[in-house]
Chain A
Amino acid sequence: MLQRFLDPAVLAGISGLDLIAKTVVQGFIAGLHRSPDFGFSQEFAEYRAYTPGDDLRHVDWNVYARTERAYLKRYRGETNTRLTLLLDASSSMGYSSHSVSKIDYARYLAASLFYLANQQRDAAGMLVFDDEVRAFFRPSTRQGQLMRLLHGLEGAEPRARTDFAKPFLHVQDFLKRRGLVVVISDFYEDPERAVRTVEPLHFRGNDLVLFHVLDPKEIRPALRDPVILVDMETRESMEVAPEYAHVEYPEKFDAHVALLKEKARRAGIGYFLLPTDRPLDEALREYLGIRQGRM
């Protein structure tokens, strides 16, 4: 039942990214209770004796009433990290064959990650790019950061072409501290070049995850008749035969995905393929898995 709320098609009917993110995360957390394998940063870890300077809000007053000693409750989640999300907002991300476009799915995913990070008190930032850096939100835990990020996501409309080189050079300048870097894109780029472009972030100690967002019809086009297709980024048009789309295109596309996955694996980069008709919990689970590994 709760799984239904993670369905992108259902989420598309909810207005407001904050509400979508809350629905996704809370539904996802509720589902986790049945999974003891994953820890949660809000879980109780240990008690620590109070020392001057500690925040009195964390004193367990019930223990103090029983023992007259001040102890602080420690949580695992207090091991903070920095989440930097790189969102591809090129024109190709605007493609959709059903109610949820790739950019919408990417927004839901990003919002859910931001919401989760905010729950974890992790600093979260975002960089929106196409062939240029269109927006950059420095990672922070400040009050209102979540709303800023969500607002930034709202304004991330697809346009222009994809170019990893410029935005990644730019983000390297800003990411001085280690953290988790999530790249959400459709990766219409040469896998070798794409991985080589993002690889330096990993070298700097960041955990890097590539979320490859694709529409199902991009993976398996359903053409029954010849049709003229127009490239959403280059505006180039081409008449395409159905038999090609059914036979040769899948082979090439699968080879592209496999190569990207292989390159990422060799570079120690996480790779996760996300068709836009799949629930978001798998992406969140991937995120939490990586984050847990960092603690």
Chain B
Amino acid sequence: MGFLAPWFFAGLAALGLPVYIHLLRRHRTTPQPFSSLMFFERRTQSSIRHRRLRYLLLWALRMLLLFLLALAFANPFVTGVSPAERERTLLVVAVDASFSMREGDRLERARREAVRVLGGRSASGQAQVIAFDSQVRVLTQPTVDPGELRAAVETIRAGDARGSYGELGRALRSIAQSSRLPLEVHLISDMQKSSLPASFSDLRLPAQARLTPHPVVSRPAPNWAVENVAAPGSIADPKKARVLATVAGYQTPAARRNVSLVANNRVLATKSVDVPAGGRVAVEFLTLDVPYGFNRAEVRLESGDALREDDRFLFAVERSDPRRVLFVHEARDTRAALYFRAALAAAAESSFLLEEVVVEQTAGLQPARYAFVVLSDVLSLPAAFEDALRQYVRTGGSLWIAAGAASARRPRLPVVDEAVLESRYYARSAERFQTVGNLDPAHPSIRRAGRWEGVKFYQVTRLAPGQARVVARLTDGTPLLVEKQVTEGRVLVFASTFDNISNDFPLHPVWVPFVEQTARYLAGLESRASNITVDSFVELRSVREKGVAVEVIDPEGRRPLALKDAASLQTYQLMREGYYELRRANGRHGMVAANPDRRESDLTTMAEETLALWQKTGAESAAAASGGAEQRRVRGLWWYAMLAVLATAMAESLFANRYLHVEEEEAA
């Protein structure tokens, strides 16, 4: 309740007037003559009491009259909803079912609170129950049936998805738009700060919506969690595998915790780490001794907190033989193969076996037997091999071409038929060499190998990139790394050589990750993550792979895809924690582990100021809405105050008139 003109309350000073008249000023009774008192007796007690009572009633009426006058002029208003409007209001009970609600008995408390809220509504008012995490599930349509509403509340279970208040805001706006009713939203949640969207505007409530929060926790609970695990999706040599886990504590004191690496329910290693207060610690396991094939692995933490579901982090790893890579070079060029082999071997998770052949030996080779093929600055190729390569690329194979000085003598590059414009040379002296001026950090080759600052290029082959994707350019704008899609396959062109003659790239540390990442990318291993977050999508087929059935086996071993979906679905969303087995349209099998978003492990609640701002968005929206809607929200009470003034004035007049009438009679 508020007042539009509160300064009118200064008029309350007038209340002193009736106080003076009735209490301070002595009342004088005028004696009245009567013919004889011979039949009267003296009785004073009752008369005084009556007079006092009557005066007090009149005094109270006059005080009330003045107060109501001041109140009416102060123009009071309320922003709540009247009982009649409440009948026209849709009660929306939104229950948080995100991963964090698994902590302790949060969800049970939330359900009890929801039942309590629904029990307090008017019998004729419509209500709706929704549950939300990263998505909003409408559990009931607007209804007045208490049994249906209660049953809907009972069905709510905490999921593995991350909570999203932004998604809730969008759903509420949608509900308000479809129902065309003012909303009374009761948010029953742990008010997790991490569930807030990046943009506050996503929280915006619809017009004429009132948000009432019901926090199910009073203060954030301490929680340890395995925040992240970096593990290879596939390994060839278990001794070279490296698993890096991050253990984090939220609102926690410093503590020692045991962390174990588990594969196929077998503990491979256990380490004890000191987790700082509210901090993180990294745990490294240098072996991953798993059998061939797909393996279900996890990093397990003995935390002892109430949210046990985030004490493990799942990942899938495939053990296989090393993938073969064909490296074609001119007979005179031996440096490039040396540096390339060294780079592949230096990579910790290297699972490639490099086969070097000179150009003259390629005639009978089948490129399809290799994960990818490298043409290291070749001048010419046997026609049969070039045709085989072209066919290989068209069917999805990958080719990496290093276009050095020898390639520049060709009019066109092999396989891709890109025109070679010229070969540029830069002097080694006087710092006339070129450096990399522009990199595309989104490309898998550059993503983890972006420090090219000191690399000097003395010779590059100038190409016409056309529609190809330029991943790196030199400072003079010459394309250095270009990727071109050829039908199903991909061709990566490096406009220099892999030796240390045209550049000093192999001598820089960034050379190793660059070669490794590019090799993984070209071999198709880069997209094979060992774990992804719940709610993420996995790709089952490309756009062109139509009509081929895919298959998904969920953590419970069920096949969730219907036949129609199996034949047409391009992506599949992982909704629950666990291991998913996938058979893609290209025939490749895979396994991926889904873990809940670790932002859910941070149980810190949002600031009260944020919550208050969120609640205000409903009022602001109402203010921005039409004038009629605003009038329904902000109801002025001056009319009722004036009616009360009139009623009190009439009562005062009648009472005072009656009193004065008696005075006159008595005076007569």
Chain A residues in contact with chain B, CB under 8 A?
A: 92-95, 97, 102, 186, 188, 215, 218, 222-234, 236-245, 248-249, 252-253, 256
- Give the docked Cα–Cα distance between A94 and B35 (Å): 8
Residues of chain B within 8 A (CB-CB) of A252 are 39
Task: Assess whether B364 is interfacial by the CB under 8 Å rule.
Answer: no
The answer to whether A230 touches B32 (Cβ under 8 A) is yes
CB distance from B39 to the nearest CB of A (A): 4
CB of B342, distance to nearest CB on chain A (Å): 119
**Cα distance, A154 to B549, chains bound together (Å):** 134
Residues of A within 8 A of B658 (CB): 224
Q: Does B83 contact A (CB under 8 A)?
A: no
User: Known interface pairs A97-B668, A222-B665, A239-B42. Does A102 touch B35 (Cβ–Cβ under 8 Å)?
Assistant: yes
B46 at the interface (CB under 8 A from A): yes
Nearest CB of chain B from residue A41's CB, rounded to whole Å: 36
* 26 sampled A-B residue pairs with Cβ under 8 A: A92-B36, A186-B35, A218-B34, A218-B35, A222-B665, A223-B666, A226-B46, A226-B48, A227-B29, A227-B32, A227-B666, A228-B31, A229-B32, A230-B34, A231-B35, A232-B34, A233-B36, A237-B31, A238-B40, A239-B42, A240-B40, A240-B43, A242-B47, A243-B46, A249-B39, A249-B40
Contact of A229 among B33, B50, B665 (CB under 8 A): B33
B102 → chain A closest CB, angstroms? 77
Instruction: Tell me the chain B residues, 33-59 only, with Cβ under 8 Å from chain A.
Output: 33-44, 46-48, 50-51, 54
A238 touches B29 (CB 8 A): no
**Bound CA–CA A248/B35 (angstroms):** 17
B residues less than 8 Å from A244 (CB atoms): 40-41, 43
Do A236 and B35 form a contact, CB below 8 Å, given A224-B665, A227-B666, A243-B46? no
Contacts of A245 in B (CB 8 A): 40
B662 contacts the other chain (CB 8 A) = yes
Assess the B47–A232 pair: CB atoms within 8 A: no
Q: Which 8 pairs show the lowest CB-CB distances between chains A and B?
A: A226-B47, A95-B35, A92-B35, A188-B36, A229-B34, A228-B31, A231-B37, A241-B43
Chain B residues lying within 8 Å of A94, measured Cβ to Cβ, are 35
- Contact partner, A225, options B40, B44, B51, Cβ 8 Å: B51
Report the minimum CB–CB distance from B43 to chain A (whole Å). 4
Contacts of A233 in B (CB 8 A): 35-36
Which B622-660 residues have C-beta < 8 A from chain A?
658-659
The smallest beta-carbon distance between A158 and chain B, in angstroms, is 10
Docked CA distance A237–B42 (Å): 10
Give the CA-CA distance A242 to B662 in the complex, in Å: 11
Instruction: Note all chain A residues with C-beta closer than 8 A to B31.
Output: 228-230, 237
Within 8 A of A (CB), among B532-573: none
Consensus secondary structure, chain A interface? mixed
Assembled-state Cα–Cα distance A218/B35 (Å): 8
Contact of A241 among B36, B39, B47, B666 (CB under 8 A): B47
Q: Given the complex of chains A and B, what is the CA–CA distance between A92 and B665 in angstroms?
A: 18
Residues on A with beta carbons closer than 8 Å to the beta carbon of B35: 92-95, 102, 186, 188, 215, 218, 231-233
Contacts of A218 in B (CB 8 A): 34-35
Output the least CB separation between B662 and chain A (Å): 4
Contacts of B39 in A (CB 8 A): 249, 252-253, 256
Which one, A222, A223, A238, A242, contacts B37 given CB within 8 A? A238
From A215, A227, A245, name the one whose CB has the most chain B CB atoms within 10 angstroms.
A227
Q: How far is the CB of B252 from chain A (nearest CB, A)?
A: 80
Nearest chain A residue, comparing its CB with the CB of B37? A231
A227 to B51, CA, bound (A): 10
| With contact pairs A238-B37, A238-B40, A244-B40 given, residues A225 and B32 touching in the complex (Cβ less than 8 Å) | no
Chain B residues with CB under 8 A of A241 = 43-44, 46-47, 50
User: Apart from A224-B658, A226-B48, A233-B35, what 10 extra A-B contacts exist at CB < 8 Å?
Assistant: A95-B33, A186-B35, A188-B36, A188-B38, A218-B34, A228-B29, A231-B35, A236-B37, A239-B44, A241-B47
Chain A residues with CB under 8 A of B43 = 239-241, 244
Contact partners of B34 in chain A: CB under 8 A: 95, 218, 229-232
Contact with A226, one of B33, B37, B41, B51 (Cβ below 8 angstroms): B51
Cα A94 to Cα B36 in complex, Å, equals: 11
Q: Which residue of A lies closest to B34 (CB)?
A: A229
* Alpha-carbon gap, A240 to B54, bound state (A): 16
Q: Which B residues, 52 to 85, have Cβ-Cβ distances below 8 Å to chain A?
A: 54
CA distance A218 to B41 in the complex (A): 15
List the B residue with the shortest CB-CB distance to A226.
B47
Binding site for A on B (CB under 8 A): 29-44, 46-48, 50-51, 54, 658-659, 662-663, 665-666, 668
Question: A222 to B663, alpha carbons, bound, how many Å?
Answer: 12
State how many angstroms separate the Cβ of B27 from the closest Cβ of chain A: 12
Chain B residues contacting A186 (CB-CB under 8 Å) are 35-36
| Chain A residue with the shortest CB-CB distance to B668 | A97
Given known pairs A226-B50, A241-B47, the reply for A232 and B662 (CB within 8 Å) is no
Give B53 Cβ to nearest chain A Cβ, in Å. 11
CB distance from A77 to the nearest CB of B (A): 38
Given the complex, which residues of A lie within 8 Å of B668, measured CB to CB? 97
Which chain A positions have C-beta within 8 A of B44?
A: 226, 239, 241
Q: Which residue of A lies closest to B41 (CB)?
A: A244
Shortest Cβ distance from residue B151 to the other chain A in the assembled complex, whole angstroms: 67
Cα separation A243 to B40 with both chains bound (whole Å): 12
Question: How far, in Å, is B32 (CB) from chain A's closest CB?
Answer: 6
Output the residue of B30, B37, B663 with the most chain A CB within 10 A.
B37
B54 contacts which chain A residues (CB < 8 A)? 225
Distance A241 CA – B46 CA, assembled complex (angstroms): 7
A237 and B668 CA atoms in complex are apart in Å by 16
Whose C-beta in chain B lies nearest to the C-beta of A92? B35
Chain B residues lying within 8 Å of A93, measured Cβ to Cβ, are 35
Q: Which residues of chain A are within 8 angstroms of B29 by Cβ–Cβ distance?
A: 227-228
A229 / chain B contacts, CB cutoff of 8 Å = 31-34, 37, 40
Task: Please name the residue on chain A nearest to B49 by beta carbon.
Answer: A226
Bound Cα distance A223, B658 (Å): 12
* Cα of A240 to Cα of B46 in the assembled complex, Å: 9
Nearest CB in chain B to that of A243: its residue: B46
Residue on B nearest A224 in the bound complex, by CB:
B662
Chain A residue numbers with a CB within 8 Å of B36 are: 92, 186, 188, 231-233
Q: Which residues of A contact B32 (CB under 8 A)?
A: 227-230
Tell me the smallest distance from the CB of A73 to a CB of chain B, in Å: 49
Bound form: Cα–Cα A242–B47 in Å: 8
Q: Which residues of B contact A242 (CB under 8 A)?
A: 47, 50
Q: Using Cβ atoms and an 8 Å threshold, which residues of chain B touch A92?
A: 35-36
The CA of A243 and the CA of B44, in the complex, are separated in Å by 11
Min CB distance, A162 to chain B, in Å?
Answer: 9
Interface centre among A232, A238, A252 (most CB of B within 10 A): A238
Shortest CB-to-CB span from A152 to chain B, Å, is: 23
In angstroms, Cα B205 to Cα A31, docked, is 93
* Bound: A92/B662 CA distance, A: 22
Which residues of the other chain, B, contact A248 by a CB distance below 8 angstroms? 41
Separation of A256 and B36 alpha carbons in the complex (Å): 13
Which residues does chain A contribute within 8 Å of B40, judged by CB atoms?
229, 238, 240, 244-245, 249
B665: chain A residues at CB < 8 Å are: 222, 224
Which residue of B has the minimal Cβ distance to A235? B33
In the assembly, what is the distance between CA of A158 and CA of B40, in Å? 22
CB distance from B558 to the nearest CB of A (A): 91
How long is the Cα–Cα vector from A245 to B35 in the complex, in angstroms? 14
* Nearest Cβ on chain B to A245's Cβ, whole angstroms: 8
Contacts of B30 in A (CB 8 A): 228
A9 to chain B, nearest CB (A): 15
Residue of B nearest to A93 (CB): B35
Contacts of A102 in B (CB 8 A): 35
Point out the residues of chain B lying under 8 angstroms from A234, CB to CB.
37
Residue in chain A with minimal CB distance to B29: A228
Q: A225-B51, A241-B47, A253-B39 are in contact. Are A230 and B33 (CB under 8 A)?
A: yes
Residues of B contacting A238 in the complex (Cβ-Cβ under 8 angstroms): 37, 40, 42
Q: Known: A224-B665, A226-B50, A243-B46. Is A232-B33 also a contact (CB below 8 A)?
A: yes
